[in-house]
Amino acid sequence: MTDRDKEVTKKLEDVGKQLLSQIDKSQSPSYEIPVRTLNNIFFDKKSGTIKLGDKMSERQFLNIAHSRRFMQTVLVASEIKKVIESQATVSIRDLYYALKHTIEGTQENTFEDQGESDPCIEDIEASLDLLREELHLAASAKGIIAGDVQLKDGKDTIDLTKMGSGGWSVPSNVEPNQIEFKKMNAEFLLFIEKDAVWRRFNEDQFWKKHNCIILTGRGQPGRGERRMAQRLNKEFGLPLYVLCDADPWGMYIYSVIKQGSISLSYSEEKLATPSAKFIGLTTRDVEAFKIPKEVTIKLNQLDAKRLKEMEGYEWFQKKEWKEEFANMKAKAYKLELEALSKKGIRFITETYVPQKIKNEEFLP
């Protein structure tokens, strides 16, 4: 067991000891967890990340409104401890099925569905200041990466220059005790929203020509990709540029990479990269790069609603973002990264991104 695993196990044991001590004193077993509702979440301007406030709630075993969730959380914590001690890693789905059963002598199930077990995991993460991956819980691999990087994944040495057209699949756990960087030859990291666009950059060997790393979360990025980007930025000082569609959804993905998400506010210090820059796409690029208007897409009601929500977010209040949102509303259109193919199949890799980086044409 690694030193970090020992630290995590001790945190779980301490919770158990606290509950036993309360029982020994004939007290109602209880524990505190951070309140994870919207009114306890704020944007910290100093760190540039979305954070959880300091409001706490007490969950009590003898409170009928709390007892089911109380027992479920203790059950999840106990199983996690067993998983860590066995030096295994399981999916959150595996964990749910391992714990789901009908309690003997009753008609009550420990869990009715995964929607009950997942929040227990999040409560444990938030209350113990741990990432899910540190609890030996994993999600399916989603992201892909390529570049002049060598790393160790457990006992295996991986060379990211030799992963072919498919790239290397980023695991959900990229913590230092699992992923160790051995060689790094890159000047910046390009985080690309879409899988198809990433494949264009990989096929054109953009990472080799521009001495960089290319990474995609294939849509909304998972924790593994976000943590990987943060580590590369913090440990090696690599500037992080984000390339997304010119629509409210792509721009929100950028904000999740940069500031973090509301739903994961309790762990954003370990996931967000506040120094990230938005390289594009923007609605102003239509005129700047003479992109044909026929490839633009009309904003629909859902787009307009999402845009209005984003205009209210504190982290989108800088002048440049206000101007971009105003222009999007005035033009009433959006466009996808693939629209740049109208200018040529390699326009995005040979002209658009290199020019944006050279001229430092970023949104904050």
Catalytic residues: 97
Cα first-last separation, the chain = 42
Alpha carbons 132 and 301: distance in angstroms, whole number: 36
Q: From start to end of the chain, where are the E strands?
A: 30-34, 41-44, 49-52, 56-60, 90-91, 137-138, 144-147, 149-153, 156-159, 168-169, 179-184, 188-192, 212-216, 240-243, 277-280, 297-298, 333-334
The CA distance from 206 to 214, in Å, is 8
Using an 8 Å Cβ cutoff, are 177 and 2 in contact?
A: yes
Strand partners, 180: 152
Task: Say if residues 91 and 103 touch (Cβ distance below 8 Å).
Answer: no
Query: Residue 288 phi/psi, 5° resolution?
Result: -60, -35
Closest to 274 in 3D by CA, of 246, 301, 255, 296: 255
- Tell me how far apart the alpha carbons of residues 235 and 54 are, in angstroms, rounded to a whole number: 29
In which residue are the tokens 């699949």 written? 169
d(CA 230, CA 237): 10
Q: What is the DSSP letter of 247?
A: S
Cβ neighbour number for residue 62 with a 10 Å cutoff: 11
The two three-digit tokens of residue 73, written as one number: 């959380």
List, as own/partner pairs, every contact residues 323-326 make where C-beta atoms lie below 8 angstroms and the sequence separation is at least 24, other chains included.
324/251, 324/282, 324/283, 324/284, 324/363
